[in-house]
Amino acid sequence: MEPALRPGDWLLARRTTRIRAGQLVVARHPGRPGLLLVKRAARAVPGGWWLTSDNPAAGATDSRRFGPVPAALIEGRVLLRYRRTG
């Protein structure tokens, strides 16, 4: 998710179903429910969301590979990013 997120960033997320396009969300991977993803909610689709990575050239997995994510797999949205320095 670089440049929005970098390795080592801490995130504060809130469980909610109120998602808007453009927000960063925490979701369960559709094929591996034990894996949490942080992606950008690109657009609402029937029954869920189309989630994208900010840096697809890095080989990140997103809806371009696994399709739309059902709304039931969206855990919440990112409220705050804390970037540690030093």
**Residue pLDDT, tens place only, 36-56:** 999 999 999 999 999 999 987
Q: Residue 38 domain-assigned?
A: yes
Query: What is d(CA 66, CA 78) in angstroms, rounded to the nearest whole number?
Result: 21
Q: The CATH number of the domain where 64 resides is what?
A: 2.10.109.10
Q: Is it true that the peptide bond before 3 is cis, omega within 30 degrees of 0?
A: yes
Q: Residue 21 domain-assigned?
A: yes
Question: Domain residues for 40?
Answer: 10-80
What total number of domains does the chain contain? Answer: 1
Stretches in the chain below the pLDDT threshold 50: none
pTM of whole model > 0.85?
A: yes
